[in-house]
Amino acid sequence: MTAFAHRAERVQPSAIREFLALAGDPRITSFAGGYPDPTLFPIEELHKIYDELLSAANASALQYAASDGLPELRALVAARLTADGMPCVADDVLITQGGQQGLDLSAKLFIDAGDVIVTERPTFLGALIAFNPCEPDYRSVPMDEEGLDTDALEEVLRTTDRVKLIYVVPDYQNPTGRTMSLPRRRRLVELAEEHDVVIIEDTPYRELRYEGERLPTIKSLDTTGRVIHLGSFSKILAPGLRLGWALATPEIREKLALLKLGADTQNGTLNMRAAAAYLSGFDIEQHIAGMLPTYRHKRDLMLATMAEHFPPGITWTRAQGGLFTWVTFPQRLDVAAFQRDVLIPRSGVIVVPGTPFFSERPEANHARMSFSGVPDERLVAGVRAMGDLLREVLA
């Protein structure tokens, strides 16, 4: 007998793991991963930095460090957040193990079994994986081209007890690529205040902006300290460093830091030192600006190829930033079954079926497709092959 805790019932393998394992196969064209393009990592700069750090004079880079993060890295992050309209100092920032840890710690801090988390519909499936062990109930709120539908949110807040958190990805959301408009951001903050709910604002794609205005963060509109702002170096530097941050009021930040102490003691000192050296010795804004044309080109190529080769009756989002488009097929198409029975065997293309992105009442006729990480020719060939097969099965 295995006497797992009750929460273990909510810890289940994700249906997408099995086919993500295929992504490493050279015969597979994967639009599934949300991986940044590895050719864009600043490898030479990081090589130089790590070389210097791994010397006797820098032995402290291999030592334990403060659990809330290296002070100089916290200060450098605080300076970037301040420049982005969220005035803060080093002490306000907690360094986390990627943005993902901010999700895990926030749920641990606020959610008892049966408390309600409101998510966008669809939402980032990794957030659900982080939240599930806390045994929440979920309500999901539809989105449109302006992001979260705040009228629908108002209705959910009015009619649902025990709502503790609202989780949103306002900039170039994963999986839809959508951006929440400024009026909706304002309304979201108002509603959270009215109903005394905490907002988690998750922003790993914020800086991958290919067009449109940079909108104020939800945190910057917050006057009552109820927004936990999460960010990440994964898409702007490298995900393997596992570095992110949380900005919150001192009361919340302190509790998150204590939870982090129990979870993993601290982020790796070496990586924190390297990130701090990178931010102080190189121009990360220039590095980010240098990546944007590549991603913009990939997005345009994928969307144009879909427009040319997908049969009628299929729609998709046009992301102004980030890495994803969300594709909606006729209701009768179950994307997971199509992928398993037709798409993978006959074209070697994989996408992420949409079902796991729904916190409740999943819909089977969507897919998330990432435009990063596949060379142009393969991208075009893969989308074309997918279009041909769709034409066949939908005929």
Between 34 and 348, CB nearer to ligand PMP: 34
Which two tokens mark 140? 């999901």
CB of 97 to ligand PMP, least distance (A): 7
Cα distance between residue 149 and residue 144, in whole Å: 7
Q: Which residues of the shown chain bind ligand PMP in the complex (CB under 6 A)?
A: 34, 98-100, 124, 126, 169, 174, 202, 204, 232, 234, 239, 244
CB of 348 to ligand PMP, least distance (A): 24
Between 327 and 390, CB nearer to ligand PMP: 327
CB of 325 to ligand PMP, least distance (A): 14
Helices and strands, counts by H and E, the chain? 14, 14
Query: Which residue, among 269, 229, 368, has the nearest Cα to 50 in the 3D structure?
Result: 269
Cα distance between residue 277 and residue 261, in whole Å: 24
Phi-psi region of 373 (alpha: psi -120 to 50; beta: other; left: phi over 0): left
CB 282 within 8 A of CB 288: no
Question: Treating both helix axes as pointing N-terminal to C-terminal, what angle do 150-159 and 182-194 enclose, rounded to 10 degrees?
Answer: 10
Cα distance between residue 31 and residue 337, in whole Å: 17
Count of residues in the chain = 395
CB of 111 to ligand PMP, least distance (A): 17
With vertex at residue 182, the alpha carbon angle to CA 179 and CA 185, rounded to the nearest 5 degrees, is 85
From start to end of 206-314, where are the E strands?
A: 227-232, 244-247
32-55: burial string, b at 16+ Cβ within 10 Å, e else: bbbebbeebbbeebbeebeeebee
Between 97 and 365, CB nearer to ligand PMP: 97
Between 171 and 387, CB nearer to ligand PMP: 171
Q: Parallel, antiparallel, or unpaired for β 315-316 and 324-328? A: antiparallel
Residue number of the CB closest to ligand PMP reads 98
CB of 125 to ligand PMP, least distance (A): 9
CB of 58 to ligand PMP, least distance (A): 26
CB of 393 to ligand PMP, least distance (A): 29
Between 202 and 389, CB nearer to ligand PMP: 202
CB of 103 to ligand PMP, least distance (A): 7
Between 198 and 343, CB nearer to ligand PMP: 198
Between 98 and 387, CB nearer to ligand PMP: 98
CB 243 within 8 A of CB 272: yes
Between 92 and 104, CB nearer to ligand PMP: 104
